[in-house]
Structure 1
Amino acid sequence: MFTHKSFAVVGGGTIGLPIVRALTSYNVSVVLLSRPGSPSKTVPSTVKVVQVDFNDVAATAAVFKRHKIDVVVATIGKAAVLVQKSLADAAKLAAVKLFVPSEFATPTDGEPEGSHNPVAGIGDKCEVAEYLKSHNIPSARVFTGVFIESLPWLVGYSEHGKIRIVGKGEAPVSYTSVHDIAGFVAHVVTTLPPSALKDRIFRLQGDRASLNDLGAQFKTSVEHVDRITGEGGAVKTELLTLLSSGAGSTAWDETNQVERTGNEAAGSANVLWPMHRWRSIREVHNL
């Protein structure tokens, strides 16, 4: 028996649409929320698509109420992470039972309290987490590390056939495929009891390797550079620097500069999806 039956996914991008599709396989009610004027999305026929201004709390709450939403899954891009405060206000007005904020990357829970680290949107994500907690809105945060599918872009392999990294590249990094992330989210929000989801952090890991190790996996050379140039160079430089610092592991504790262990280890949440086989870097990229 499903513990939650009606879901709103906010944003239909890289991770949003796969989550929508994964949820539909559980035969639950799914609504996709997008901004007015956003390009149309190809979704399963059972999915309702609603355009609404996310900053309009009353209008968004009305959508949640109309569709009797139990769970909101936000998949907001880095530039608009803070709009989740308005979404959270709407969720509270509509008595939504669980809010899954847009994390889906490296961990943010180990940041020093009150930190507003601008790298990779970490500070904004922390602010949203603090907002949910202070407003007593139950949340579930999912840390995934790097999307395996994005690796060729991030390290420049798709551009020049080599692995270019910033920093020493020795620290272990967690990687998880978009397919696995979407399936995991759909599985836990539809099958786990509310008590197992409330204010919970899930640390996923489909594969694990240092940036230096990627050379052997992709059968190419590794080049260490001070920064990445060209289109998206600033973003890539920022992300690669972060990964080289150790913060790429889903178990990373930034405050204490250590890897968490035990129930907080990287990939510790994988067991919640029994019998699932997690995809590796080699499998996703046919290496």
Structure 2
Amino acid sequence: MATTYKSFAVVGGGKLGMPIVKALAAQNGVSVILLSRSGTTSEISVPAGVALEKVDTADAAAVAAVFAQHGVEVVISTITSAAVGAQTVLVDAGKRAGVKLFAPSEFGMSTEGDSKNPKNKVIEYMKGAGVSYARFFVGMITEFVPFLIGLKDGKITLAGKGDAPVSFTSLADIAGFVAHVLTILPPSELANRTFRIEGDRSTMSGLGAIFNAEVEHVDKIGGPMGEFKTMMLLMTDTGVGSTGWDAETKKEKTGSDAAGSANVLWEGHHWRSIKEVHNLA
């Protein structure tokens, strides 16, 4: 039995999926495929040695055939939050093809303990199917912060109080960590495990000082994607923005489940701060 996993499939080549593909492809002795929907017309450029497979991701048999063809051991899903429920097809395909581990599309705020969250329903589906999972909680993706807070002309706009701690992690750190632990740790240390990482930590209001900007609090955000921004900002007030948050107990976890507790698994790595990512003095 292999001591570490060597064959990976990434589903979705977007802003997070492609960095994960590149980070995996940079590992020695690893094979990687990228799955893209068969109806996709845009050109996708993949690193040398990475196979691009266009397949109907709603067809479990077709996806299973691709997994089996490439001997895939680990599937990493980076599909959008709006489509997380569709991952059950990928789980079924993985089960048919003998996939050993499935990393569902989390890569955001903590969802643990929130029984109504569709992401947890996917976890329950995997448990029922007997498929092992690895979850990655990263908090807010640092590169997306200016968009969320409407940074403009020395001012940021927040819905809610913005006084709860939030974890922030850069795309490079997320991708690098995922590739690192999935290729370094043995299967027994990956199965049914939650990884809580954190590149930096602040409150949303505290971002004013970091970006040297005035903070304006409003009831709701207007303009394009205003409803989405309002929802995300109000969610952080509940505490879920921290990767150590448990929605069931409404408390921060501690010890090996605390926010950023998994950072130690990437020994010697420098985690990028908010200021570093956005080139702030």
**TM-score under structure 2 length normalisation:** 0.96
Alignment of 1:116-135 (within 5 A): 116=116, 123-135=117-129
Which one of 128, 151, 156 corresponds to residue 150 of structure 2?
156
CA positional deviation for 1:2: 6.4
Residues 1:26 and 2:27 aligned together: yes
CA positional deviation for 1:74: 0.4
- Aligned letter for 2:49? T
Which one of 127, 138, 150 corresponds to residue 144 of structure 1?
138
| Comparing 138-147 and 78-87, the one that deviates more | 78-87
Contact 1:84 1:128 in 2 (8 A): yes
Contact 2:208 2:214 in 1 (8 A): yes
**Partner residue, 2:12:** 11
Alignment of 1:189-228 (within 5 A): 189-228=182-221
Contact 2:137 2:195 in 1 (8 A): yes
Q: In 2, Cα distance between the equivalents of 1:161 and 1:92?
A: 51
Residues 1:80 and 2:83 aligned together: yes
- Aligned letter for 1:16? G
- Encode CA deviations 1:223-273: one digit per residue, 9 max, x unaligned: 101001110101100000001221110011111111111011000000001
CA positional deviation for 1:52: 0.6
CA positional deviation for 1:170: 0.7
Q: Secondary structure at the match of 1:240?
A: helix
**Partner residue, 1:94:** 97
Q: Secondary structure at the match of 1:142?
A: strand
Aligned length: 277
Contact 2:112 2:248 in 1 (8 A): no
**Partner residue, 1:120:** none
Contact 1:24 1:44 in 2 (8 A): yes
**Partner residue, 1:67:** 70
Superposed structure 1 runs of 4+ greater than 2 Å apart: none
**Partner residue, 2:278:** 285
Contact 1:2 1:190 in 2 (8 A): no
- Encode CA deviations 1:107-151: one digit per residue, 9 max, x unaligned: 11121xxx32xxxxxx21111111111111000000000000000
Q: Secondary structure at the match of 1:151?
A: helix
Q: Secondary structure at the match of 2:271?
A: coil
Which one of 32, 44, 50 corresponds to residue 41 of structure 1?
44
- Encode CA deviations 1:65-86: one digit per residue, 9 max, x unaligned: 0000010000010121111100
Contact 1:8 1:71 in 2 (8 A): yes
**Partner residue, 1:233:** 226
- Encode CA deviations 1:173-215: one digit per residue, 9 max, x unaligned: 0000010000000000101000000000000100000011100
Gaps of 5+ in 1: 117-122
% identical aligned pairs = 55
**Partner residue, 1:180:** 173
Q: In 1, Cα distance between the equivalents of 2:260 and 2:98?
A: 31
Q: In 2, Cα distance between the equivalents of 1:54 and 1:169?
A: 38
Q: Secondary structure at the match of 1:248?
A: coil
CA positional deviation for 1:16: 0.2
Q: In 1, Cα distance between the equivalents of 2:67 and 2:155?
A: 47
- Aligned letter for 2:86? V
Contact 2:5 2:183 in 1 (8 A): yes
